[in-house]
Chain A
Amino acid sequence: MSPSPVGPYLPLAVTLLVSGLMAAALPVLAHFLGPRRASKVKSESFECGSVSEGSARQRFAVKFYVVALLFIVFDIETVFLYPWAVNFKALGWFGYAEVAAFAATLLVGLAYVWKKGALEWET
């Protein structure tokens, strides 16, 4: 095998080819081989086993998104805090200052949304 930069990627190309073929073949095979007996229950939209009701195209209040976004922000904060806590001694005061700056940044954000009233549920 000659030294080439493309060589190591050959298995990757094979994987791509096989997975692409499978992705194409399975729906086609299912279309031709699978039996189809439509009934009223079967053509209903699937909702985890419970009986579906109403339209899926409902409008949600935007406050749900605000809460979800805030949750993600502080969720990510904990994700970053855990590795720091594990390496607390090794990182020393420099690490402490870094994490303090990081937490302070988020604190400013929290103060801002709080004061702006984004945490008020009833407005």
Chain B
Amino acid sequence: MLPVLNNADSLAYFWPEMILTAGAMGVFLFDLAVAKSPRRILWLTVASLGVLAAAALATSHVAGLSPTPIGLFNGLLVLDPWAVFFKYLSWAVTALAILIAGPSLEVASERMGEYCALLLAVAVGMSLMASSTDMLMMVIGVELVSMVSYALAGFKKHDRKSSEAALKYVVYGGVASGMMLFGMSYLYGLLGTTNLVGTAARMNAQAAMLAQAGVAASVAGAGRVAMVVAVVLVLSGVGYKIASVPWHMWCPDVYEGAPTPFTAFLSVGPKAAGFALAVRILYGAMSVSGGADLATAVADVPWPQVVGVIAGLTMTVGNFAALNQTNLKRMLAYSSIAHAGYILMGVAAASETGSQSVALYLVVYLFMNLGAFLVVGIVGRLSGSESIFEYRGLSARAPFAAVAFAVFLFSLTGLPPLAGFVGKFHLFKALVDRGGSWQITLAIVGLLNSAVSLYYYARIVKAMFLDKPHTEERIAVPASYNLLLGALVGLVLVFGVYFDGLRQLAGSSVVLFGHS
């Protein structure tokens, strides 16, 4: 029997989220206290990072309390290595997004407090997404992340594009949440519970009931169709969060309009939480162990194939749409769509190594994608533009940023010896290990896509190093940005060579509550 705690006992395992919730409110009040201070941004940054550091300490404390997975709040949430991994990842993304925002001119100093506090709230939401095993809790996690993200996307008050981003995000997000809830209502009707632990067994029992003698063929067929429809609808909510095709439409517009520090956050944080959720639903709940570390889907729900098709479509659409973009933020938005496709290959593999490669890739992706958006922020800070025109001859105007950008872009392509190669290699390997014909086909599609992506990444590198700049004016880069760039480049280079620790960390995190 799996251990599940009641509400009062669960609080001892809920410190990170409680600290962040209290911290978010504290930052709101602290903002009032330092409103007159000339060092307001610095104070707020330090306070928010302090809250996140406390949350990280609390995470390691609660992770140490229970060596085995444990259910919290009567089974609404769980605390297992998978959740702990994504909690750390969420705190890290949030901390970086707050660090980036300080010197950025897009977040005005009088609104920095709101920015930090809202990001802390999103961090709680991402943690809830990664650790929920109940469909209702999943919706609450997704909504918490989405609602606050709408406000943050429209953070530039008098900017039309920012308002457009917020509005489009609200409309798409509302529809996606609605579809997900609708699918969940079907699943609840079919399985009789909102809890996802043991879904595989329930789905099998349901399929067995439909298959038994005395059930009319039409009824059995309708039951199967309802199950597949329910799964597809639930997946569309998750697909919207990770911006996969065909739920990617919001992504370029929102990324373009939102303030760059938040775009950087959005391209990594909620996406990672969405993948944590996807693996928890698909691998953790809806599959059973089928020998070795491979899982098999249950009850006529061909979800690995469905996810495989979505993965192929996502990377192809993302990469081909990115080819012609001249706005760097839009290009990186399509690139992040393509990357959602690559990572979905790890989900479609439906194996322990597949889930491990998803976790591994998301860490690598955090460094290289945040780094890429950081450079976009640096260039946009001076010119206010994200056009590729501004990047011509960047090697003469901001040499370090140009070199760092080249490293991030080649890492995003997946070229060795950078971290992106390591991440991609594990995704492909997990898929090929399954050995089926469609898995091999998908891997080939992924390889061809990587080749396509090299074109638009290299186009920027060419503009930065070979083209003449339109002005000789040097771009002033704040010292903290240079430090951050250096750290991120260092991580991308180091993880490209010494990746064994990271792989082991990701591997030991693939322990999901209730998955056998």
Residues of A within 8 A of B (CB): 2-7, 9, 94, 105, 108-109, 111-112, 115-116
Q: Which of A7, A94, A109, A112 lies at the interface centre, i.e. has the most chain B CB atoms within 10 A of its CB? A: A112
A105 lies within 8 A of B25 (CB): yes
Chain B residues, Cβ within 8 Å of A116: 32
A4 lies within 8 A of B215 (CB): yes
A5 lies within 8 A of B28 (CB): no
Q: CA A62 – CA B20 in complex, angstroms?
A: 31
Q: Does B178 contact A (CB under 8 A)?
A: no
Q: CA A6 – CA B209 in complex, angstroms?
A: 12
B25 lies within 8 A of A4 (CB): no
Which residue of A3, A105, A115 contacts B215 across the interface (Cβ within 8 Å)?
A3
Cross-chain pairs A/B with CB under 8 angstroms, 14 sampled: A2-B214, A2-B215, A2-B216, A3-B215, A4-B215, A4-B223, A5-B209, A5-B223, A6-B219, A6-B226, A94-B8, A108-B28, A112-B28, A112-B32
Count residues on chain B whose CB falls below 8 Å from chain A CBs. Answer: 18
A115 lies within 8 A of B214 (CB): no
Chain B residues, Cβ within 8 Å of A7: 219
Q: Which of A5, A105, A111, A115 lies at the interface centre, i.e. has the most chain B CB atoms within 10 A of its CB? A: A5
B29 lies within 8 A of A108 (CB): yes
Q: Does B190 contact A (CB under 8 A)?
A: yes
A6 lies within 8 A of B222 (CB): yes
Residues of B within 8 A of A (CB): 8, 25, 28-29, 32, 189-190, 206, 209-210, 214-216, 219-220, 222-223, 226
Nearest Cβ distance between residue B21 and chain A, in whole angstroms? 8
Nearest Cβ distance between residue A77 and chain B, in whole angstroms? 15
User: A-B pairs with CB below 8 Å: how many?
Assistant: 39
Interface of A is mostly: helix
Nearest Cβ distance between residue A12 and chain B, in whole angstroms? 10
Which residue of A3, A112, A115 contacts B209 across the interface (Cβ within 8 Å)?
A3
A6 lies within 8 A of B25 (CB): no
Q: Which residue of B lies closest to A4 (CB)?
A: B219
Which residue of A4, A94, A109, A112 contacts B216 across the interface (Cβ within 8 Å)?
A4
B219 lies within 8 A of A108 (CB): no
Nearest Cβ distance between residue A123 and chain B, in whole angstroms? 15
Q: CA A92 – CA B32 in complex, angstroms?
A: 35
Nearest Cβ distance between residue B115 and chain A, in whole angstroms? 14
Nearest Cβ distance between residue A87 and chain B, in whole angstroms? 15
Chain B residues, Cβ within 8 Å of A4: 210, 215-216, 219-220, 223
Nearest Cβ distance between residue B269 and chain A, in whole angstroms? 23
Q: Which residue of B lies closest to A104 (CB)?
A: B25
Chain B residues, Cβ within 8 Å of A115: 32
A6 lies within 8 A of B29 (CB): no
Q: Which residue of A lies closest to B190 (CB)?
A: A5
Q: CA A2 – CA B215 in complex, angstroms?
A: 6
Q: CA A108 – CA B206 in complex, angstroms?
A: 48
Nearest Cβ distance between residue B110 and chain A, in whole angstroms? 10
Q: CA A17 – CA B189 in complex, angstroms?
A: 20
B29 lies within 8 A of A112 (CB): yes
Q: CA A20 – CA B3 in complex, angstroms?
A: 47
Q: CA A94 – CA B214 in complex, angstroms?
A: 52
- With contacts A4-B219, A5-B190, A6-B226 known, what are 10 further pairs, Cβ within 8 A? A2-B215, A3-B214, A4-B223, A5-B210, A9-B189, A94-B8, A105-B25, A112-B28, A112-B32, A115-B32
Q: CA A111 – CA B28 in complex, angstroms?
A: 9
Chain A residues, Cβ within 8 Å of B189: 5, 9
Nearest Cβ distance between residue A86 and chain B, in whole angstroms? 19
A2 lies within 8 A of B32 (CB): no
Q: Which residue of A lies closest to B35 (CB)?
A: A115
A108 lies within 8 A of B25 (CB): yes
Nearest Cβ distance between residue B238 and chain A, in whole angstroms? 24
Nearest Cβ distance between residue B53 and chain A, in whole angstroms? 22
Chain A residues, Cβ within 8 Å of B28: 108-109, 112
Q: Which of A3, A6, A7, A111 lies at the interface centre, i.e. has the most chain B CB atoms within 10 A of its CB? A: A6
A5 lies within 8 A of B206 (CB): yes
Nearest Cβ distance between residue A122 and chain B, in whole angstroms? 21
Q: CA A108 – CA B31 in complex, angstroms?
A: 12
Chain A residues, Cβ within 8 Å of B29: 108, 111-112
Q: CA A94 – CA B9 in complex, angstroms?
A: 12
Which 6 pairs across A and B sit closest by C-beta, in order of nearness?
A4-B219, A108-B25, A115-B32, A2-B214, A112-B28, A2-B215
Chain A residues, Cβ within 8 Å of B226: 5-6
